[in-house]
Amino acid sequence: MKRISVFAIVFLLLLLVLGIAPMASADPSGRDKPKPSQVIRLIERVQAVSFQDAAPPGPGLGDRLIFTSDLFDGEDNQVGRDGADCVILRIDSSAPPEKQQIVQCVITVELFSKGQLTFQGLAQGTENFFAVTGGTGNFRTARGEAFAKDIVPLVEAEITITLFDDGH
């Protein structure tokens, strides 16, 4: 009798573990991770840059970096343009030089004849994610994120925009 009880307990524990393991790996919200509905890959080439230095002179809180760029597809066709306004929010002098400034950026991307997408987020260094905050035209219900990776800072960058269906 004792042998059957131990076997039954081990069997029940095994069922319990096997039943919980798949649930533990699922999204805690009860939904599976959404699959991208669209991925847009662009090359950004900066056309004009302005750095507005607030007092005191030198990098500091409130300084602004404003730039505009042309956007190209993988075949080097111009497919749009963008503009960004980034404000320095924090200086971290303990970080490596390329990561000392933390900026808040608001970016608008216009893809010719398709509409506009807006992005916002904190940036530090040469690789950053930004949240999609809205859109127009074909992108009016857009949600997702953009990843920007500098090839040459303030000259050229790779941009990957990942959009998700809105569920409707």
User: What is the widest separation between alpha-carbon atoms in the chain?
Assistant: 85
Is the N-terminal amide bond of 153 cis, ω within 30° of 0? no
**DSSP letters along 139-164, please?**
GTT--EEEEEEEEETTTEEEEEEEEE
How far is Cα 67 from Cα 122, in angstroms, rounded to an integer? 16
Confidence of residue 62 (pLDDT cuts 50, 70, 90): very high
The DSSP letter of residue 95 is: S
**Superfamily assignment of 36-164 in CATH?**
Allene oxide cyclase-like (2.40.480.10)
Q: Spell out the domain ranges in the chain.
A: 36-164
Confidence of residue 165 (pLDDT cuts 50, 70, 90): confident
How far is Cα 138 from Cα 54, in angstroms, rounded to an integer? 38
Predicted TM-score (pTM) of the model is 0.76
Residue 28 pLDDT more than 80? no
Residue 21 pLDDT more than 70? no
